[in-house]
Structure 1
Amino acid sequence: MPNWFPLSRSWVNAIALILLMAGFQHLSSYLWWIVSWLIALFPRLVYVFYILVTFSPILLIAFIHHWSHQLLDQFFPESRLSSRDRVQGTFPNILSWWQGLYGWSVNYLSKILSWAILGVFLPVPTQGSVLQFSPWNLSNSFKQAHPWFIALLVIQIIFAAFFYQFEYAVQRHLRDGE
């Protein structure tokens, strides 16, 4: 297989990332009434919440990456690349923070690119259709599985897999010097 084509680990990472972000977005929609109530009381908090909402996926991905590798180290120690790759403690290490930042970037880049690709085939949007079918309205899209929504997820997973394969190729190049 060519070096640029995603391996199975890239596909698994892509699917896990997209599902994690969709679940996070769905769960965070339940907290929106608390956030909107706080913003109504303290209007300047909108800036703080904007920063938290924008960067909280980095924190989530970093902790999930750290804890999942702790579980893998405990139950499947042969899956580690070397003995120095052992994950310890409850706070993420630098590799987990890198995965959080990279996963956050992959999520947004694959979302933007999938919308750009799909936008070529969708009819010209009206104001109502954009608000009804948007990438930020996933809870509504989960209830009404439109063919466009499924196509959007598939395209987003494909882009994310290619991004993760790119990262794997760069890491392998740095490690092996190929």
Structure 2
Amino acid sequence: MKKVHGMELRLPEGKLPGFYAQIVKKLAETNALADRDRSLLFVYEEGREAVEQLLDHYKVPADTGPWLLLGAKEEGWELARSWTDYGVETRSGNLFLDLSLAKLISLETGARDDAEPAQAARQLKEHTAAFKPAGGGSGTLFAVDRQLDELAGRIAKAYRCVAVDRDKPQ
């Protein structure tokens, strides 16, 4: 997982289709793109400045925000019906989570023998946009609405687990 910047391009109206294609070609030359989905660019931190300069040159404003590249769906991610409210699956199969709306947590048992991570995971899945299973529920990753952070903590505590914030990759 890697933090990236999402940049939603606000393309000017009345431009020929080649205008956007020219920008995409120049963006590819920067090696800054992690991926893209229509007019939403996912940019690595180290290339953000180059992309911003390029967009300034073409006079294309962009709305930016923090996103997390989760990886590919084939890596074990299961998407809930609410996924599209919180994330994007690109044509290349990458999953990106909008960190302004959601966060990534895991359930950890610590050293508790009486923890019930599978039961906690089962209940927490009802409130997730996506999850990536790991053995027995412990270590399973959950993408949840930021406003449900407290609920996730209470669910974990009820089953003697801890909800750990994971949207700050090491």
Question: What range describes the TM-score normalised by the shorter chain of this pair?
Answer: under 0.3
The TM-score, its normalising length taken from structure 1, stands at: 0.24
The structure showing larger relative contact order (alpha-carbon pairs under 8 Å, at least 6 residues apart) is 1
Q: Larger helix proportion, structure 1 or 2?
A: 1
Structure 2-normalised TM-score?
Answer: 0.24
